[in-house]
Structure 1
């Protein structure tokens, strides 16, 4: 990665963020998505995403889903695969549709909503 790369190619970021009921960061926390992003494109901000969405509250408490896929961050809507899960989501498969609702390029912070469909 170089400072001259418009896509931050090669950058790897770890994430351990709150998972909330709504897009409002002050809404009730229901879990914790943990994982990593790696900038995988030299042409645009496109992140390979490996994440575990661990639920700590509510009806899914103690369960998690695992997401893997290319998150083309500048696209308004992105699709990624559900590749597994534990607890109620044991052997889950499906897809997650992500939409960015807020993004700060200076800090690379964002608020994204995920609509997830699973078969388990």
Structure 2
């Protein structure tokens, strides 16, 4: 009987040792992070690009491109509409005329984030549909003091031709209808990318 137990135990111990060492080897080969060369991702020399376009934020009419999706209990009594959250899918064009050549869409949200002045938190993607940037995006996040002549908003990333993008965008109000809230905003974006 002892011989039978030892003959069963030895193969089981060998099998257990094999699986235990295999699982340790698998754990050792997986890493959380590693250093890469930019060339391994096809990245070449970094360049600086300037993009210029117009943003059409339409809140009124039969086809608004900006829609309020949330508000706070104080929003409608606040002088700054504090707490209002607006979802956007705004047209980007080459010129200020809404019928000028489309170059993309601004998609994301802006929210009234200031109780004392017209200040928006902007979180959006510029999704381009024209030329060599067709299918690429720039991600923008920052503060927009609406009544300042020029506002600067950070470009924090991108996709496609704008992978690893960083930079800033300057916004200038071209036209604003205070009755409807409709606005056309001129954007100049300065972007480092590969």
**Same fold (TM > 0.5):** yes
Higher relative contact order, chain-length normalized (CA < 8 Å, sep 6+): 2
Match of 1:104 among 170, 177, 184: 177
Match of 1:26 among 68, 81, 99: 99
CA distance in 2, matches of 1:76, 1:69: 16
Q: Which has the larger radius of gyration?
A: 2
Q: State the partner residue of 1:85.
A: 158
Q: Secondary structure, in 3 states, of the residue corresponding to 1:3?
A: helix
Q: State the partner residue of 2:148.
A: 75
Q: State the partner residue of 1:10.
A: 83
Q: Secondary structure, in 3 states, of the residue corresponding to 2:153?
A: strand
Gaps of 5+ in 2: 1-73
Q: Give the Å deviation of 1:2.
A: 3.2
Matched, 1:42 2:126: no
Q: Give the Å deviation of 1:106.
A: 2.1
CA distance in 1, matches of 2:185, 2:110: 14
Q: State the partner residue of 1:54.
A: 127
Determine which structure has the larger helix proportion and give its number: 2
Q: Give the Å deviation of 1:68.
A: 0.3
Question: Structure 1-normalised TM-score?
Answer: 0.96
Determine which structure has the larger strand proportion and give its number: 1
CA distance in 2, matches of 1:2, 1:61: 38
Moved more, 93-102 or 55-64: 55-64
Deviating above 4 A after TM superposition, structure 1's stretches of 4 or more consecutive aligned residues are none
Question: Structure 2-normalised TM-score?
Answer: 0.60
Q: Deviations over 1:10-66 (max 9, x none)?
A: 000011011101111110111111010100000111000001000112221011101
- For the aligned residue pairs, the C-alpha RMSD in angstroms reads 0.9
Gaps of 5+ in 1: none
